[in-house]
Amino acid sequence: MDLLLIGPPGVGKGTQAARLRQALGIPHLSTGDLLRRHVAEGTRLGAAAAAHMRRGDLVPDELVTEMALDRILGPSCAAGVVLDGFPRTPAQAEALDAALAGHGRRLTAVFHLTAPDRTLLRRLTGRRTCGDCGDSYHLDTKRPRTPGLCDHCGHRLVQRADDTAETAHARLAVHTRQTEPLLERYRPTGVLHEIDGRGDADDVTRRLLTALGRGAAGSSAFLAGGAGRL
């Protein structure tokens, strides 16, 4: 079972990918995590990516694709994978579809998680991070016990530069431009599911599992088993 999560910043893709991993017993592949691992381990692909990153350039499509496909087609993902952050471009999507087909696989479902811009902006701009230990908070959903201070180390909480209102608006605009070609690619195939990303995490997980045909009973059993604590 190969699944793809698409959605704007702040919609909860990472959270839901982790929950699908637990519910379905298949790995979660985050392109960001994969890229950081290759760079940290000094692999051939990581060294090539790091060179682009030092110059402030985007990592080229072909490099990201090689990294991702090496993992997707490897033994750890033989039973399927939850993809988060790949593919991002039509070229990456074409390479993924061709590689899966070459191994007798195809995307089982493409989930497009959605939420109104006002909801996404509130989620993005409400995030705060400890400048010392890196612990994260949210002004709506995970407030610190003492306003402005980290619960763990007592240091001041800061708003990251990419969580300001101006940056958040720009990120959402870029996402819309990048995502529409992918949606147009997968919409005619019948695998695309539009999923409402509003509500708490349990609600969204239930919608995803129901779209997969797991039904209310299956999703309720999974949630009762502790998914809400992820």
Q: Residue 171 catalytic?
A: yes
Which position among 105, 128, 171, 206 bears the catalytic label? 171
What's the token pair of residue 96? 């993924």
Give the burial class of 130: count Cβ atoms within 10 A of its Cβ; 0-12 exposed, 13-18 middle, 19 or more buried. buried
Active site residue 127: yes
Assess contact for 4 and 107: CB atoms under 8 A: yes
Q: Which two tokens mark 106?
A: 């195809």
Do 86 and 32 touch, CB atoms closer than 8 A?
no
Strands 136-138 and 127-130 turn out to be antiparallel
Tell me the one-letter amino acid at 207.
R
**44 an active-site residue?**
no
Catalytic residue among 142, 143, 156, 160: 160
What is residue 15's three-state secondary structure? helix
Is 13 noted as a catalytic residue in this protein?
Answer: yes
Given 71, 88, 185, 198, the catalytic residue: 88
Task: Tell me if residue 88 is catalytic.
Answer: yes
The closest of 193, 230, 8 to 117, measured between CA atoms, is 8
How would you label 144-164 residue by residue, b for 16+ Cβ within 10 Å and e otherwise? beeeeebeeeeeebeeeeebe
Q: Out of 19, 127, 206, 207, which one is annotated catalytic? A: 127
**Residues with a known catalytic role:** 13, 88, 127, 160, 171
